[in-house]
């Protein structure tokens, strides 16, 4: 039976969920939509369609696209922090957690480390995250190196290499996920060993 009137933006009625469940559904859908097309090219109608809900339902949870994007970034940052452990520690467990989170939530990983850094309105938040990662790398990897310029370079390089290695792994189709963290760790060790050698 055809329905006359307004286009709801969804093909089927939205299942009734508790508020917290609906919010999580919207955040998951928005993460996918924003990671696919970026902030500017993604409208709230795109997010509503991804979530299988109407725009009216979306507006009950988020007043604007900016508010929704910020909530998506906060969710991604929280999940990243949970994955790597307290204080952004540089360890085998931290790297394994980072790879594991990227495997489970590639859209969240891409949004946080690829897309958000290109959005002028949100870039400072990603810059803050990268600064935290650099500080953790300096603390955990340089071990009070007397070669200060080299220690600073290493601490800036470690997060960048880890993120790019994981991004390349995602782009390659996540080959051998059970060994990805180990391989990335060995690659980082080799690179930093090369920096230290004279």
Task: Please report, in tens digits, the pLDDT of each residue of the chain (198 residues total).
Answer: 333 344 444 444 456 668 889 999 999 999 999 999 999 999 999 999 999 999 999 999 999 999 999 999 999 999 999 998 865 567 778 889 999 999 999 999 999 999 998 888 899 989 999 999 998 888 887 765 657 788 888 889 989 999 999 999 999 999 999 999 999 999 888 887 777 765
Could you tell me the two tokens for 58? Answer: 């979306």
| pTM beyond 0.75, yes or no | yes
Q: What is the CATH number of domain 19-190?
A: 1.10.357.10
The phi and psi torsions of 153 (rounded to 5 degrees) equal -60, -45
Q: How many CB atoms lie within 10 A of CB 29?
A: 21
Residue 48 CB contacts under 8 Å (≥ 6 apart), including other chains: 9, 10, 54, 55, 57, 58
């Amino acid at each position: 039976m055809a329905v006359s009137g307004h286009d709801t933006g969804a093909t089927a009625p939205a299942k009734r969920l508790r508020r917290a469940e609906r919010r999580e559904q919207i955040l998951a859908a928005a993460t996918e939509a924003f990671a696919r097309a970026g902030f500017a090219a993604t409208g709230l109608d795109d997010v509503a369609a991804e979530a299988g809900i109407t725009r009216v339902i979306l507006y009950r949870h988020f007043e604007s696209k900016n508010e929704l994007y910020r909530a998506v970034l906060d969710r991604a940052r929280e999940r990243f922090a949970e994955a790597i452990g307290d204080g952004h520690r540089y360890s085998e467990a931290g790297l394994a957690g980072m790879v594991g989170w990227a495997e489970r939530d590639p859209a969240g990983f891409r949004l946080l480390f690829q897309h958000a850094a290109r959005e002028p309105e949100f870039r400072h938040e990603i810059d803050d995250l990268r600064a935290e990662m650099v500080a953790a790398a300096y603390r955990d990897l340089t071990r009070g190196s007397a070669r200060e310029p080299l220690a600073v370079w290493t601490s800036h390089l470690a997060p960048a290499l880890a993120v790019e290695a994981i991004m390349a792994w995602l782009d390659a189709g996540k080959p051998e996920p059970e060994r990805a963290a180990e391989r990335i760790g060995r690659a980082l060790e080799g690179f930093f060993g090369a920096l230290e050698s004279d």
